[in-house]
Amino acid sequence: MKPNDLKICQFKDYLIELYPNPRPTLQYRNVFEQIIAISLSAQTTDKAVNKVTAQLFSLYPNADALSQASFADIESILHPLGLFRLKTQRIIQLSSFLAKNEIKLQRDFLESLPGVGRKTASIMLSSNNISDELAIDTHIARVALRYAIAQQGSSLWVIENNLKALLLRDFNLWHLRLISFGRQICTSKNPKCHQCKLSGICFFVHGI
């Protein structure tokens, strides 16, 4: 069952009410720091990433410096993050490549980088005003499924296209709204349904 137009209007209006002017919470000063920060953000909070990158970028301010760092030194900095060993390996590999190649804000180039997928590429392109992209992560996918914007088992590609068809434009803003909603209210465990104005049309609550 798909949500009707009235439910979609309610959904969009409420997210705009909650997050009228959303802003990224990851902290960075340039595209190199941005792509590293996004790479570190999986399965952890932006607050935790910001604490780690403050130290990381003070010691290794560019790709050349980070590519020459020892695995043990980077691992010790990233230790507070989830998947810190894998992330250490990936950002050293990524920095080794970027030390020899200028970052191009093009999807094909970005998705060819070590550890960079469609989500990271979409964030880079959209947040840097290259193209209007809607990056999908686990939080956004969960929200889409709970509001029947996509069916259980749908691929991230299907979820992205379904959301784009409903949201129409300003996808970077919608990415920030949806991810904030998924992190703060429509959480994976113990969602705050009691304070959510959309609980009346939520398939997760009513199973309809």
- Using an 8 Å Cβ cutoff, are 83 and 43 in contact? yes
Q: How far apart are CA 121 and CA 166, in angstroms?
A: 22
- Identify the pLDDT of residue 206: 60
- Identify the pLDDT of residue 207: 57
72 alpha carbon, distance to own chain's centre: 27
Q: Three-state SS for 102?
A: coil
- Using an 8 Å Cβ cutoff, are 24 and 190 in contact? no
Token pair recorded at residue 33: 């720091």
- Identify the pLDDT of residue 145: 93
pLDDT < 70: residue spans in the chain: 1-3, 205-208
Q: How far apart are CA 78 and CA 80, in angstroms?
A: 6
The structural domains of the chain, ordered by start, are 5-22+134-206 (1.10.1670.10), 31-127 (1.10.340.30)
- Identify the pLDDT of residue 54: 97
Q: How far apart are CA 21 and CA 70, in angstroms?
A: 40
Element (H, E) at 113: none
Q: How far apart are CA 87 and CA 81, in angstroms?
A: 9
Please state the pTM of the whole predicted model.
Answer: 0.89
How many other CB atoms sit within 10 Å of the CB of residue 127? Answer: 20
- Identify the pLDDT of residue 84: 95
CB neighbour list of residue 45: distance below 8 Å, 6 or more residues apart: none
- Identify the pLDDT of residue 1: 44
- Using an 8 Å Cβ cutoff, are 44 and 82 in contact? yes
Q: How far apart are CA 195 and CA 185, in angstroms?
A: 8
Helices 71-78 and 46-59: angle between axes, nearest 10 degrees: 150
